[in-house]
Amino acid sequence: MKRIVCLLLVITVMLSLCSCGSTNQGPPADALPPLETDDSSGKTGSSTSSDPKVVYSQTMDNGLLVEIYDDKSLVLSRADLENDLRDDRVLAGHLNGILTIEFGERVHSICTKAFVDFTTVKKIIFGDEVNTIGQYSFAGCTALADIRFGSAVDTIDDRAFSGCTALKDILFSDSVHALGDYVFENCTALRNVAFGSGIETVGNYVFSGCTQLVSASFESNVPIAVFSDCTSLESVSIDSSVQEIGDRAFSGWASLTSVSWPKQLTVIHAEAFKGCSSLGLLAIDSLESNLTICEGAFSGCTKLVVVSLPEGIIEIKERCFEGCTAMERLTLPKTLKTIGGRFISGCTAMRDLWFRGTESEFRKVKKANDWIKGDNNLSGVTKYRTE
């Protein structure tokens, strides 16, 4: 009996060994391959072990969902942002050190001063449903370097990004139609601005104090002091449909060397190019409209030497070229109707003042009593077109 039991044990062990050896032969040929997993990080899509994890979540009274992740990102969704999140004492304690702010579904507007002085935020991502960015909403976010506008942003209100001193480049989406006043005031690192095709209204002083700005393009009227004191700006492209250049639009722009005028231009407002000390060329070939040049528009442009104004200019107001100390010759168009006082005062190098019409035609031009001031070598026009 013992021999039979031993024989059965031996057979059992041998069968077990054979079974173990067969487990490493792989799946059958017609077996399905394993499913692939998504290893990309992010707040949406398939979750992996490397994805950021929610460390705090809260739903506000209006239904706004606030989520804070372990990578210091803040995600808002499901309702508009109506109040400063720091007004909630419990939530406020979780907002320290936020690096990224992202706006998700059903967020359409961002309230006034929503994130003012969030000094650690480096990136803002606007979802494709955000259409209005409120006043001062991100003012003083001094670490902000990356703004990604969604496809629905329409209006950016006054001073929304003023004082964002780390911001270097701005690329507007085509959906942006309106900018308020002082929107990027004192963004001192800002170098390049590219407007989308949808821009229609631009407020005053939008880039005032952006001392590193070197290039910008415009497809709408240039507003008051939009580039005031942008001392590094080297070039600006003005669309051919632009009709007005606002007060002090480019005043103090020390790097500007030339300006090409849109043919539809009707007004250059007061001191628009005052103090553009490198401006040496006014490239004005022709105009298709009547143009008025306002008070002090080119005063202090000390590099202008020879200026030939095109036909179509009907009025030159007082002090227009005051203090252009290098100007030697100025040619006036025969379309001119009015000349203001002291319009070439302080042009100490002036030798020639030409008029394209006849002397009798020039007598009909309305002139201020002090249109020629005795601080240059001129007492009147030195050359007319032959009768």
- Give the DSSP letter of residue 16: H
**Could you tell me the two tokens for 258?**
């030339």
Stretch among 2-16, 103-117, 247-261 having the lowest mean pLDDT: 2-16
- Residue pair 313/293 in contact (Cβ under 8 Å)? The answer is yes
Q: What is the pLDDT of residue 226?
A: 77
**Residue 62: Cβ within 10 Å count:** 11
Contacts of 35 (CB under 8 A, 6+ apart): none
Consecutive H or E run containing 4: helix 2-22
**Residue 31: Cβ within 10 Å count:** 8
Which residue would you say has higher pLDDT here, 221 or 61? Answer: 61
**CA-to-CA distance for 199 and 202, rounded, in angstroms?**
8
Collect contacts of 373-377 with beta carbons under 8 A, ≥24 apart: 373/341, 373/342, 373/344, 373/345, 375/345, 375/346, 375/348, 376/344, 376/345, 376/346, 376/347, 376/348, 376/349, 376/350, 377/350, 377/351
Q: What is the pLDDT of residue 16?
A: 52
- Categorize the per-residue pLDDT at 252 as very low, low, confident or very high, splitting at 50, 70 and 90: confident
Contacts of 25 (CB under 8 A, 6+ apart): none
**Strand partners of residue 316:** 293, 339
Encoded amino acid at 54, one letter: V
Instruction: Tell me the average pLDDT across 364-384.
Output: 86
Encoded amino acid at 282, one letter: L
- Categorize the per-residue pLDDT at 9 as very low, low, confident or very high, splitting at 50, 70 and 90: low
**CA-to-CA distance for 193 and 90, rounded, in angstroms?**
39
Q: What is the pLDDT of residue 10?
A: 47
E-assigned strand segments in 269-308: 281-283, 291-293, 306-308
CA distance readout (Å), 195 to 38, 162, 216, 260, 344:
36, 18, 8, 19, 36
Instruction: Tell me the average pLDDT across 65-88.
Output: 96
**Stated pTM of the model:** 0.72
**CA-to-CA distance for 99 and 301, rounded, in angstroms?**
45
In percent, how much of the chain has pLDDT > 70? 85
Residue whose C-alpha is closest to residue 296's, from 329, 338, 328, 324? 324
Task: Compute the chain's Rg from CA coordinates.
Answer: 34
**CA-to-CA distance for 34 and 46, rounded, in angstroms?**
16
Q: What is the pLDDT of residue 374?
A: 64
- Give the DSSP letter of residue 87: G
Stretch among 33-37, 87-91, 268-272 having the lowest mean pLDDT: 33-37
Helices (H) and strands (E) in the chain, counts: 3, 27
User: CA quadruple 142, 144, 149, 152: dihedral positive or negative?
Assistant: negative
Which residue would you say has higher pLDDT here, 145 or 10? Answer: 145
**CA-to-CA distance for 216 and 190, rounded, in angstroms?**
11
**CA-to-CA distance for 107 and 337, rounded, in angstroms?**
55
Residue whose C-alpha is closest to residue 250's, from 270, 269, 274? 274
- Residue pair 158/180 in contact (Cβ under 8 Å)? The answer is yes
- Residue pair 350/328 in contact (Cβ under 8 Å)? The answer is yes
Q: What is the pLDDT of residue 31?
A: 37
pLDDT of residue 73 exceeding 70: yes
End-to-end CA distance of the chain: 146
